[in-house]
Structure 1
Amino acid sequence: MDQQNLTLSPSAAARVATIAAKQGKAAILRLSVEGGGCSGFQYQFGLADAPESEDSVTETDGVKLVVDPVSLDLVSGCIVDYVESLGGAAFRVENPNAAAGCGCGSSFSI
């Protein structure tokens, strides 16, 4: 499937590769969207063993970002980044579809 304009930043790809290597897993990050959070939807991240047949897949520096078809409608055009700040380090989704977000950056509404 095509990538629907999803982007995995080089810093996020490097972080996924590091985590995957430590856990002895493939460097595949799954992004999904679930109902909940303080704004209606929340992002979920996890390592995947392999893409599912219907997943959208994009790749950066040998690291894959996979998204299921239902979540893809909500995150099309997103950039998944990894940022380190005084508040800690985390994966962050820059979502052009989100009408509102929350202070923690892990939930959004459309």
Structure 2
Amino acid sequence: MTSTTSPAVTLSPSAAARVAWIAQKQGKPAILRLAVEGGGCSGFQYRYGLAETIEADDTVSETDGVKLAVDAVSLDLVAGCVVDYVESLGGAAFKVENPNAVAGCGCGSSFAV
């Protein structure tokens, strides 16, 4: 497990609060896993989920007691990102602010590098 003082990927305080709430409701640890998969309308898509444990090759950052885990393969595509949680009239969702993305789709769940 790699943990850094200046993490490659971070959780915003609003995202950390939402993950903590979801984890508490589901009785799981407050660990959000962010992964990147091929697919989506722009080439890659983000995948989120609560994790039970931290894997050996994960890079981990922590905000307000909530951990964000990213596997080594996905890290190259999301380095420097901030995972945020936004609420608007259109709904509420996790959103990745990815400085590496050169294109994205309207729904915000896929991107191209």
TM (normalized to structure 2)?
A: 0.95
- The answer to whether residue 72 in structure 2 is matched with residue 72 in structure 1 is no
- 2:11 pairs, out of 8, 11, 22, with 8
- 2:100 pairs, out of 88, 97, 109, with 97
Instruction: Note the aligned Cα RMSD (angstroms).
Output: 0.8
Q: Percent identity?
A: 75
Could you list the structure 1 runs, at least 4 aligned residues long, displaced by more than 4 angstroms after superposition. Answer: none
Helix, strand or coil for the counterpart of 1:72? helix
Structure 1: any 5+ residue segments left out of the alignment? none
Rounded to whole Å, the distance in 2 between the matches of 1:62 and 1:74 is 25
Letter in 2 for 1:69: A
Aligned residue runs from structure 1 range 45-64, under 5 A: 45-64=48-67
CA offset digits 1:28-86 (Å, max 9, x no partner): 00000000000000000000001101100000000000000000000000000000011
Rounded to whole Å, the distance in 1 between the matches of 2:10 and 2:25 is 24
Rounded to whole Å, the distance in 1 between the matches of 2:3 and 2:42 is 29
Rounded to whole Å, the distance in 2 between the matches of 1:42 and 1:78 is 14
